[in-house]
Structure 1
Amino acid sequence: MSLGLLIRNLIYWLGVAVLTPLCFAGMFVFCWLPRRKRHIFGQTWAVSLLWLLEHVVGLRYRVVGAGNIPAVPSIICSKHQSGWETLALQKIFPPQIYVAKRELLWIPLFGWGLWLTNAIMINRSDRANANRQMLEQGLARKELGFWITVFPEGTRVRPGAPGKYKLGAARMAKQLDMPLVPVAHNAGEFWPRNAFFKHPGEITVVIGEPILPEAETGPEGLMKQAEAWIEARQREIGGVGPYADPKERAARRACVQPA
C-alpha cells in the first residue's frame, strides 16, 4: 500500500462523510415530494461518490452493451461482488429501486434512505412471505415507472467464486411481465468485500440482451439463462484487478502469452 493510495482513499472517505449526511438530510427534508423526485438525492449521492472514485482514487469503469438497455422498466439482474455496483447501476440505468434484506434498514442514514426511496425490503428468513412481498411491491414500483435491481446471489461473492442464484428476480420478471437484463462486472477485483481501500484501475461492466419472460419458460429457465450468461462473461472479464481470483488471473496471462 503506497502512501499516495492511502491519501487518495482517505480523501474519498472524507467525501463520503460529507456527502452522505447532506444528501440523506435533503431526502428527509423533502420526503413530501413524489417518489420519483426523492430519488434525485440518492442518485446525486451515488454519482458524486463515483466521481470521487474515478478522479481521486483512479477507479474508472467502462460499459459494454449499453445498447441492450430496454426502453421499458425491467429487472436488472446483476452480479454482486462489492459496494461499487450499488452506486454505478444508479448511473448506468434509469431510475430504479433495490430489493434488499430488511436488516439494512437499521444502518443509520443509508438504511433510512432505502426506506424513503421505496426499496423492496424483505425478510430472508421468511422465504414464503419474502417472495410475496417482492411480487406485490414490485408491481407497485413497476406501475410508478421504476426499474427493479436484484442481486440474485443474495450477498456479495468474491471474484472467481460462483454464488447460488435464487429465483426471486426471475419470478418477478415472469409474473410482472418485465424483461430480465443480466449484468456482469469485475468490481470485486478492485473493491473487495468489506474493504476500506479501493484500488485504481478499470472496472468492466457488461450488459446483456434482455431475456424476455416467454410463456413456455418458467422462473427456473429464466434464471438458468441469466446465470449462464453472467458467469460466462465473468470468466471473460475477470483476472485483471489486484484482488482477482488467482485461477482467472493465470488464465488471462496464458491468453496473452506470445505464440
Structure 2
Amino acid sequence: MPLIRSIIHALWMLVTVMPWAIIMLVASLWTKSEPLYWMAVRWLSWATGGARVILGITTRVSGMENLPQDQRAGAILLVKHQSTFETFYLPTLMPHPLAFVFKRELIYVPFFGWAMARLDMIHIDRSLRAQAFNKVVAQGRRLLEQGIWIIMFPEGTRIPRGQAGNYKSGGTRLAVETGAPVIPIAVTSAKVWPRKAFIKKPGVVDVSIGPAISSAGRKPDELMREVEAWIEAEMRRLDPEAYVGQ
C-alpha cells in the first residue's frame, strides 16, 4: 500500500506542477514577485495537501510564537534538512515570503526549476565560493530589507534520520553581516519521507521553531554552534527512537 500511495502522490505532483509552472511563467511577464511567490506556494500546498490525503502524512507545529511579529522584521531561518518535505511545507506555514538559498543547477529542472527561476530567490554557483557568498550577502540584505525571510539548510544536503551533518556557517555569516536574527528549526520529516526514498509512509512530521537568536556582536562560527546545539538537542527530543544507542 505505501508503494501504491507513493506512486499516486508522485503522479499528483507531476500532473499539477506542469500546468501550474506554465501559468506561473506566463504570469511572470506582468506579475510582481510577491504575488508570483504566493502562486508558487499554492502549488506547494497542493503537494503537501496531497501528502496528507494520499500518503497520510500530517504535521504538528510548535513555536510559531517565536517568529518575528513585525511585518517588516527580517529573519534567517536555519532548518534541519532530512527530506524534500520541509522545502515544500515551510513556505506554506510561514506568514512571510521566504527566499531560499539554493544551488544554481536546480533552475534547469523542467517546470519546477523553471518556475523557481522566476521567483526572487538566491541561486548560487557553489564552485565560486567567495563570489557566491558575496552574492548571498548582497541579495540577502536587499530581501531582508523588504521583510522577506531567508531560509537556509546549514547542513547543505539532506541528512539521514538520526544523524547530524556538517553545519556550515554561511547562514550565520549572513546574519552577522546583516544584523538579522537567526531562528533554528527542527524537522522530523525522515520518519515518513526518508532521504532519497521514493516510498513514503503515514505518520506525523514534527516542526519545532526555536527562539530567535540575536546575531549582534556574535561570531559566525560561535553562533552556528549554538544553532546546531539547539537543533540537534530538539531532534533527539522529538524523535528519540532515531538516536537510541547514541
Q: TM-score, normalised by structure 1?
A: 0.89
Aligned equivalents of 2:229, 2:50: Cα separation in 1: 33
Q: How does 1:214-225 map to 2 (within 5 A)?
A: 214-215=216-217, 217-225=218-226
Contact 1:24 1:41 in 2 (8 A): no
Contact 1:158 1:188 in 2 (8 A): yes
Consecutive unaligned residues in structure 2, runs of 5 or more: none
Offset of 1:47 from its aligned partner?
A: 0.7
Larger relative contact order (Cα-Cα within 8 Å, sequence gap ≥ 6): 2
Q: Which residue does the alignment assign to 1:122?
A: 124
Amino acid aligned to 1:48: W
Q: How does 1:203-218 map to 2 (within 5 A)?
A: 203-215=205-217, 217-218=218-219
Is 1:189 the counterpart of 2:191? The answer is yes
Contact 2:74 2:145 in 1 (8 A): no
Consecutive unaligned residues in structure 1, runs of 5 or more: 252-259
Aligned equivalents of 1:105, 1:12: Cα separation in 2: 23
Moved over 4 A (4+): none
Report the secondary structure of 1:89's partner residue. Answer: helix
Q: Residue 25 of structure 1: which of 12, 22, 25 is its match?
A: 22
Report the secondary structure of 1:196's partner residue. Answer: coil
Q: Which residue does the alignment assign to 1:10?
A: 7
Q: Which residue does the alignment assign to 2:239?
A: 238
Q: TM-score, normalised by structure 2?
A: 0.93
Q: How does 1:1-259 map to 2 (within 5 A)?
A: 4-31=1-28, 32-71=30-69, 72-93=73-94, 94-215=96-217, 217-239=218-240, 245=242, 248-249=243-244
Offset of 1:22 from its aligned partner?
A: 2.2
Q: Tell me which structure has the larger Cα radius of gyration.
A: 1
Aligned equivalents of 1:184, 1:226: Cα separation in 2: 10
Q: How many residues align?
A: 241
Offset of 1:239 from its aligned partner?
A: 4.3
Contact 2:9 2:50 in 1 (8 A): yes
Aligned equivalents of 1:39, 1:66: Cα separation in 2: 21
Report the secondary structure of 2:159's partner residue. Answer: coil
